[in-house]
Structure 1
Amino acid sequence: MLLRFHVVNPVILNYFLRIDCGLTGKTTETYNNQSWFPDSYFIDPGKTMQISSSANVPQFMTTLRYFPNAEGKNCYRLPLTNTQKFIFRAGFYYGNYDGKSQPPVFDLSLGGQLWATVNSFATDVPVFHELVYAPRNDNISVCLMGRKEYGTATPFISSLEATYLNEDETDNHTVYGMMRNGTAYHLVARLNFGGYDQVIEPWSGWADTCEEKLNRYWTPQSMSGYTNLTFLPTSCYGTTYENRPPNSVINTAISPTNASQSIYVPVNLPTSTPQSAYIVLYFYQNRIIDGPPENLNATRNMDVYIDGIMRRNVKLEGFTSGEVVTLYPVLFQGTVNVTISPGNGTVLPPLLNGMEVFYGTELAEETSGGVKISSYVIVVAVCQLFVSLLFGLF
């Protein structure tokens, strides 16, 4: 359902900011109980375009703003209310709006730092770029600029979001607690293993509070050669874990057919230079629905390996047992192999419910004249020690 309300000035809530780029006028759009502001409040240059609706494309992605002056800095100013961690997400749906059937390639930046090079490839599939970052001030810019090597490519954007991550540390509610201020963490993958549907925040005033509440998109990931498990739902059990995984994620998993086998998950990351990864693994067990019964009184003992180096041991004991494992910093270059292997004496096979992977880039100190960019990748002070002691890491 889509409703529209006229507003004099946008009221920016502490927890989220959603912008429908290309929405004309000064009318706030309410889509499935979420308020989306027209982008005319936040930017002046550019032109707007309406695209035909599609069953697989959300309503707020069917308008866009494009920038004929590709060489200029076409910037949105986001008036945030604090400088804590936010999820920033930019959406792009080309939809062949210009009739050229040539999706453009251009740069997207956040606070003066290169965020991503946007290449939407197909004309009919939305593309999202997401990162987690704690801005240094409460008025941050998101800019689009063409790339000279691609000639006259015209930048465009369909949606822009900023979601505040409340860092309440009571009852294990820490959200990405190892992410450092001053570093931008670019999302590579957020996977729901064993699931069949995308998991997003329920857009309803009567939403189940056990589901996604941080505006994250979890992609279903079934893997050949493994069994998909679905567990009996347990009320809000995921909210007691770090990062607050939704029930729909922890209640599905993949597992090998017997206790002697491992789970192998390859992850493709940028290959140009060594970088630092932030990896989160979600483990949870309960009674299985429509599957072989398991003796959950026995211990499920699992060893977590990154490129063949053991990084953590996980033990799940009894019903409704779970653990969240965060690995950071982890050096990598290119494809990374995550392996979940059976630990000593385990009776039950390993499992994996969910995974998030980010890579980090550091932002230089902001100055009164703007933002001076540092293009070097993260190499933490203990990097040399990690390499020498744990040879073979990412």
Structure 2
Amino acid sequence: MDKPKRIWNAMLTLLIAVLEALVCTLSSAPGVCAQIQGSVFVDCGSMASYVDSITNISWVPDAPEYITTGVNGYVPSAPSIYPNFSEFTTVRYFPDTRAKNCYSFPVMPNTTYLIRGTFFYGNYDSGTTLPSFQMAVDGTIVANVTFDNAAVFVYYEFMVSSVSNVTFLCLLRDSSNSVPFISAISFSFLPADFFQSIVYGFLYGTQRIYFETKYRLNFGGDGLVRHPDDEFDRYWFPIQRSNSTFIQSTSPLQTLVASKIVGNDGSVWGDPPATVMDTALTSSGNITISFPDDYNYEYILSFYYGDLNSTTNGFYPQFSKVGQDSFSEDSAMNPYYSSNEQFSAHILLYWQLDYTPGADIVLYPDHTVSSLLGPIAALETWEMSTNPMATMTNYQDAIAIEEIKSSMNLTDWTGDPCVPVPHAWLACSTDMNSGLSITAV
């Protein structure tokens, strides 16, 4: 690189840093300059901070620190339906006609975060139909929030890499024109040596993608595991012999109980908590883990198992489709996992082919020796986005809009000015190749 280009790049880097600081200063979110470097648990609609007596989570209110729009709501049915989820007692809902309402979270640029939005409807508004709306992160619509039952909560959890010092979580109206609402948000910083160092660097380079949590399974568990067992309050759902939805076996399963299992090289963030690793399932036959939905995306699967019994000898995972023969895209899809360490976690890439109704993962024992399968203690599955995340509005235009909002007291217009939908009083360019910019106000 020649000297003039190096000087220009240095000046550009400095300019970006100055612009980021200015955006921080002008942002309508009061706490946007205090970057998140741990976990923040937000009880939407709550009026004050508190510590939950069951989960020991320190919940904080959402307004005015993270959002300036919306109305506090109360859910009378929550304490009786979900007595262990204090955060479901309140919601923040958005009856205004804006296309989007956005939370602003202060972050460190080029850092990966685990973001979860949790929604418990509970018929808080005495409505006659179940609501539906959309959730977006940094201008990318990542979920269609829908409900099959007013008394059952849903959640959507993502790993997302930040591009500036602010990350937006937005709720948008869809064609149903339902009133969007949200019960709780968890926002956790992920250490640099975790999962993203493999996926972001090796698989996709500089392309910005996101990952959605699909399953987090605790084999042999007898109840939901979350905080304080899991410091990030990840949800680990139990899978037992009687659960026919996700797991079936050709022979009876055995449950093994062990003390906390720690890797030889020490724990890493991705490890399940001790409570999850204290139970496992083994079988002399196959174990089938079913994915009931029609997915046609890429996945990351992480199997967790421990050498808890001298009669076990690992397992072979194989991918299959209902009503069809087993298949693999290449030889790497059917590796053998040897259970020869006290604790092991393996990550593999799976590209699902275009079949319906969904995929099965069949785990089967190594019959070349006399052994049981496993024991398998846990499984995490993430779906990878098939397209890059949306381009954000360029810095200069974003700063200009912040100045206009401040001077005209338009601070209720939240989020990125242009994506996923622009503010009603401005127009944005549609040429994503040349950058997203504002063309008229």
Query: Which category describes the TM-score, using the shorter chain as reference length?
Result: 0.7 to 0.9
- Provide the residue aligned with 2:72 in structure 1: 48
C-alpha distance in 1 between matches for 2:44 and 2:160? 22
* Cα distance change of structure 1 residues 123 and 372 upon mapping to structure 2, 3 Å threshold: closer
- Provide the residue aligned with 2:58 in structure 1: 35
- The size of the alignment, in residue pairs, is 333
- Provide the residue aligned with 2:156 in structure 1: 129
**Share of identical aligned residues, percent?**
21
The alignment status of 1:323 with 2:348, answered yes or no, reads no
The alignment status of 1:275 with 2:275, answered yes or no, reads no
* Cα distance change of structure 1 residues 123 and 61 upon mapping to structure 2, 3 Å threshold: same
Amino acid at match of 2:343: G
User: 1:314 is paired with a residue of what secondary structure?
Assistant: coil
Structure 1 segment 332-371 matched on structure 2, within 5 A: 332-333=353-354, 334=356, 335-351=358-374, 352-361=376-385, 362-368=388-394
- Provide the residue aligned with 2:253 in structure 1: 227
User: Conserved in 1, the CA contact under 8 Å of 2:312 and 2:372?
Assistant: no
- Structure with the bigger percentage of helix: 2
C-alpha distance in 1 between matches for 2:178 and 2:192? 40
User: Conserved in 2, the CA contact under 8 Å of 1:163 and 1:215?
Assistant: no
User: Conserved in 1, the CA contact under 8 Å of 2:261 and 2:278?
Assistant: no
- Structure 1, unaligned runs of 5 or more: 1-7, 169-173, 203-210, 288-295, 374-394
Tell me by how many angstroms 1:338 deviates.
0.6
Query: CA RMSD, aligned part only?
Result: 2.6
- Provide the residue aligned with 2:180 in structure 1: 155
User: 1:60 is paired with a residue of what secondary structure?
Assistant: helix
- Provide the residue aligned with 1:200 in structure 2: 226
User: Conserved in 2, the CA contact under 8 Å of 1:301 and 1:344?
Assistant: no
Tell me by how many angstroms 1:120 deviates.
2.3
Question: 217-226 or 106-115, which moves further after superposition?
Answer: 217-226
- Structure 2, unaligned runs of 5 or more: 1-29, 201-206, 243-248, 321-325, 398-415, 421-441
User: Conserved in 1, the CA contact under 8 Å of 2:220 and 2:255?
Assistant: yes
Amino acid at match of 1:234: K
Amino acid at match of 2:281: I
Tell me by how many angstroms 1:35 deviates.
2.7
The alignment status of 1:285 with 2:312, answered yes or no, reads no
Normalization by structure 1: what TM-score? 0.77
Structure showing greater relative contact order (alpha-carbon pairs closer than 8 Å, 6 or more residues apart) = 2
* Cα distance change of structure 1 residues 94 and 299 upon mapping to structure 2, 3 Å threshold: closer
- Structure with the bigger percentage of strand: 1
Larger radius of gyration: 2
- Provide the residue aligned with 1:178 in structure 2: 198
C-alpha distance in 2 between matches for 1:336 and 1:70? 40
- Provide the residue aligned with 2:6 in structure 1: none
Tell me by how many angstroms 1:164 deviates.
1.0
- Provide the residue aligned with 1:300 in structure 2: 313
From 211, 216, 220, give the equivalent of 1:190.
216
Tell me by how many angstroms 1:13 deviates.
4.3
Structure 1 segment 57-136 matched on structure 2, within 5 A: 57=83, 58-136=85-163
C-alpha distance in 1 between matches for 2:215 and 2:191? 22
